[in-house]
Amino acid sequence: MHELLHTCRWLLVVLLVAFGGGCARPWFARGARLQELEARDEELRAERDRLAEVVETLRATSEELLASLEEERRAVAELTEERDRLAEAFAAESERARELDEARAAAVAELSRQRDNSGDSRAKVAALEEELEAAKQRVKQLERKLETLRVCCQMPDS
């Protein structure tokens, strides 16, 4: 009986090997699948480690960019303050220029009025000089007439 059992066992093994071993194949397949899964696990771990390095690099880069952005914001704030100061100075200078322009226009108007007045004054002076000259001429004529009358009348000079 023992031999019969041993023969049956061998027969069973031969049949399993011959017909693909319905029971044996899943066991071998499971081993191969397990090896595939372990290989895939190793690949995924390597990918995870690589991605962790990328994430760390990105984190460092983002911190640098944030620091740079903060510097840029400070620079923009300083430039904005400077622009505002310059705008105020420009407004003050524009107001001063407007005032100076108004003062210049008033001075030009005053000079023009004075020039017109001096022109009028010159004309008046010229007219007065002409009148004075005419008066001198009349005085001379009157002096000559008076001299003539003295001579004619022989008036004493007393």
Please tell me which residue, 86 or 157, carries the higher pLDDT value: 86
Which region among 4-8, 43-47, 78-82 has the lowest average model confidence (pLDDT)? 4-8
Contacts of 138 (CB under 8 A, 6+ apart): none
Residue 27: pLDDT band with limits 50, 70, 90: low
The structure tokens listed for 111 are 């000079």
Task: Confirm if 55 and 61 have CB atoms less than 8 A apart.
Answer: no
Q: How many CA atoms, within 13 angstroms, populate the side-chain half-sphere of residue 137?
A: 6
Distance of CA 36 to the CA centre of its chain: 62
What is the structure's pLDDT at 157? 56
* Terminal Cα-to-Cα distance of the chain (whole angstroms): 206
Structure tokens at 129: 């000089």
Please give the model's pTM, rounded to 2 decimal places. Answer: 0.42
Q: Which two tokens stand for residue 12?
A: 């069973």
What CA dihedral angle connects 130, 131, 133 and 137, to 10 degrees? 140
If you ran DSSP here, which 8-state letter would residue 113 be given?
H
Eight-state DSSP code of residue 143? H
